[in-house]
Chain A
């Protein structure tokens, strides 16, 4: 193959093509799928997932993996809700401080995660998975199994207030997507993620403090998880231990389907945006055309395999473990 249709181009644009085909497919079967109101619904369900997926994108670019998102999201959501209610219960009072507090909590969990991974030399998937369980347990300890309702009309404006047909939370997510893109492409931190993912020994040999970078990466991921937690609470008005449920499968699937390679160095936040949209378009579209839920899981599983197959240059990979 050569010209336009070479492998690299295909891999680069495949996720976007898949997204367009899916949209076309669902629209043909049910024209109401492509209405502004439905696109807004897809955007609402995508917004929290996008934040979490962007967080883990940085880690995957480094060639590590982070599975702590469910615990981190739950803890951030619950701490936010408790602080928010304790400080007045409306954004217009001191309760707005709960927003940065939640982000700090996310960063702190990410920092711990990074420390365990780097200093104790625990593989990242194990360190983060364990930290995720710790987080879920801690959130349960805080709530005692109860749900905390966040009723403030101003905060819930994230969902109820709309500009051009889309709720505010969608614009917040877009803003953080741009921040993620800025970090990825315009800062030394972002470029170093790629350097480590592309070849850790090389990066280390050129004087990069890889350990420090990894810890920074996990902190940054924690920040994005916390933003995702805030949007998740904004979406359903409830913070609970279960707030983090499903984010692990959802975000890792999105990142992979979006074309970010699991061994690092390739991909980025725009891939993740496309991946998140693919996953949520399938989730929404299946219900809209009336296919049962298990078909949805099956289709997602197939897409993950196809995505990994496409993004793998099998000539350069000598063995798989």
Chain B
């Protein structure tokens, strides 16, 4: 049993070292703290780069993270150098993981994160700023929280406004229906912001089409099988009255297409959102008339890049204008005419992005209602 003894001894030593190290770390924080939070440190030579997100099962987050990996590789590192903090949809875990990583790295951290829900953004940002790390966020943030209130440490926030693009897809749909007849909408999880915005986009467009009518809008929870069942129900309820289907995202559209196929309906106008590769293929085949690509690969890469370059001192966030701190991400409309070219440019070959062109593809400063 001597190996066990040896192991325990080793662990004791490790633990002691860890405690010493932590104490030293705390000491240095205290010293840095004397100069105020915004002067915590000038630049970090070699920050740990981390992405904190839901999980990789979802194709969207998979794309986001692949962008983060591409950025890390562009620095000449192995892609495993990117630290993954997976929150599995829990804000508590998200915050706890960030705090743990901050203490492990002594604040030498460049963090890209979706904080899972908006209220969780503030504690995450405060923890990072306090430790002297750098953070860039996407999607979730309360309206009263702004990067410029945190000096350099809260580098940027990017989100996407889905209302306008969803309105555009709705117009494509309504035009394909000849401007008249019934539309059904299959939405995301009812409380999700994108789900609300995408439905609102459809309603905005409908205002200009007096002969078209929204028959029903039902949440399908971003889920293919749920969408399949909801669409079946719609077919019973409205039958031939349905002349077009507005889907909140591509995974929902797949379920809708199969529900229609089961009934032998092949030519129903359908539009969706997200620009997943298979949806783009279906757009090329005219089974879907439009989808919207938000370039998650670029979004994932640039968010990590912003945090990293702020951390190493390539630029000073506090000297940038507000539209470089809070901005909308890119959106690209994919229609049957350009689906093939789009697929070749963006999906079959992932473009090599210039990860220092932080704001080129973005869509202007975030507007609050």
Contact = CB atoms under 8 A, between A and B. Distances in A.
Interface of A: 30, 32-33, 35, 37-38, 41, 44-45, 136, 140, 144-147, 149, 159-160, 167, 232, 235-238, 240-243, 245-246, 283-290, 292-294
Contact of B218 (A45, A167, A232, A287): A287
B26 interface: no
28 contacts: A41-B232, A45-B228, A45-B229, A140-B56, A140-B57, A145-B62, A146-B59, A149-B278, A159-B261, A159-B262, A160-B261, A160-B262, A235-B258, A242-B223, A242-B251, A245-B225, A283-B229, A284-B232, A284-B236, A286-B233, A287-B232, A287-B236, A287-B237, A288-B233, A289-B237, A290-B216, A293-B190, A294-B190
A251 to B, nearest CB: 13
Given A32-B237, A146-B59, A44 B226 contact: no
Given A145-B56, A160-B262, A236-B255, A35 B223 contact: no
Contacts of A140: 56-57
B236 A38 contact: yes
A297 B190 CA distance: 14
A288 B229 CA distance: 11
B57 A33 contact: no
A159 B57 CA distance: 27
A243 B229 CA distance: 14
B57 A30 contact: no
B258 A45 contact: no
A293 B219 CA distance: 7
A33 B255 CA distance: 21
A236 B231 CA distance: 12
Given A44-B232, A146-B59, 17 more contacts: A37-B236, A38-B236, A41-B262, A45-B229, A160-B262, A235-B228, A236-B255, A242-B251, A245-B223, A246-B223, A246-B225, A246-B226, A287-B229, A287-B232, A287-B237, A290-B216, A293-B190
Nearest to B263: A37
Interface of B: 56-59, 62, 190, 216, 218-219, 223-226, 228-230, 232-237, 239, 251, 254-255, 258, 261-264, 278
A237 B278 CA distance: 12
Contacts of A241: 57
A241 B223 CA distance: 12
Nearest to B216: A290
- Greatest chain A CB density within 10 A among B226, B229, B239 is at B229
A235 B225 CA distance: 9
Nearest to A45: B229
Contacts of B263: 37
Contact of A236 (B219, B224, B236): B224
